Structure 1
């Protein structure tokens, strides 16, 4: 059996021992697979080189951070493929319908980066509201202009935060925001029970009411039908003037051009997140040099601790596949019928 793991490149050999999700380390799966008589190809390949590797691969391991965009054509060309594992959470880069039609199971390591992304949400909310990036930039520039940065620096306390999506990440984000004495609204497909709402410190709102009534909006929902370009020009115009938007969900949830225009005009107080579309983001992506942003590359769910959880989960999924057993149900994103 051939396993292809497409992971991020890492040309820096001295690393924390649990930084395992690079092409160089291959999630530390090599010995396990070789001892079982299988082959691991750990790579950062893209394009034709990757397609050649996939022609006889039975398992593909990919990540949301260095994704293989696995559409119908690529799936049909990978004739031996039986299992696709997302080393992390979020498998929207895989055409699940095309995969299951071909008898391919799609799995991901559920919950592996929930804490990491929730903490990043709070970090980026604070970075925007406190106007941290321009103040930090002055340090490297040798400047000391308090008036320039203070005019757009605010307290988070007393603000209204709107959470769009209240799954595992959204719920942990809300819980971490409680000590800041904010009002937290949420909108989700499934409303939480009154007891859960009290524990998390949240109140349900219709989407339009949340958009219009929030000082900060945090997107924590998957990319799916209805969420692509959820934040287009019209929805951004419906937000409070000067409010802030954080998106660590998926880059395609926001219209890149509309966000840039809203930040440039000051309609948005700022935009932050770590998800882009496509990924890796090209050098000329409109968010790279737009004003009022606190963007990072997509790394929120790749802390040292998260990488260890991801590696352990991928190994568990692989072991089940090697043993001819079903993939643990909580890891399954999509599976063939029967």
Structure 2
């Protein structure tokens, strides 16, 4: 059974703490009574939570065997964090535990150094302060949640539900997640909302690269290089690279790899095309190239991804495991820095 442990610090927002408890406690997988074991672990026996105190059953030491740790938001996100809590999160990250934050819980992850170099989000009211205090974090205030593999962050309030359902979907497949969404009276992915953008699209641009990115999305199956992209924009390759970093937060080839992996994910979820055909449609050239890059970015093979997210639940005999080593760095860190995309 997959253990989800919530870290309750003094000043925790009660709703942020309760939401994951409600979602994960109710998840059912065929053949299993309960998919998740949920624990609330506090920095003290009694945790102050605004108008009341919460008595918790487990302490920080019980985070050691968690498969997933969730850090709810804090009423005062800039308040000092207990060193023991920071050390516990750092040790968990070193073990490869999946760690997620809700709302201003991102400040705790940032204080532990877990968001350095990563794209992350938090409540839009707190986004500017998060960016100011932790300049190594690429703060995006316009999304519901961000999945970097082992490290996830979400915005406030209802976005906690989006994040939790996303993790259920990642663990158990779309069918089980859909049942969990119905229990929460929530759509699995909000229509027209930002969650779909995060899950299915590479970073967007906020400036004059929009036409190029749209064109690239339509031509991912073609052989694309920095030079060919630059010629289309009538600029030098150096200028294009600078604009990409300024407007998307990543390089052209890293963006292209992300887009191709996302395209492969879409096709695996929504079609029954063979992997060889999907590799060509997404621009990887060969099935082996797709498998290598897909496992590097997503952490699992294309076939396993299709089994999990193609509308089918995991087989009853399946058990939950910690994410594999490939679920570490985001595309912006793990992509190869070659001059020519494959």
Higher relative contact order (CA 8 A, sep 6+): 1
* TM-score normalised by L of structure 2: 0.29
Which structure's residues are more often helix, by fraction?
2
* TM-score normalised by L of structure 1: 0.29
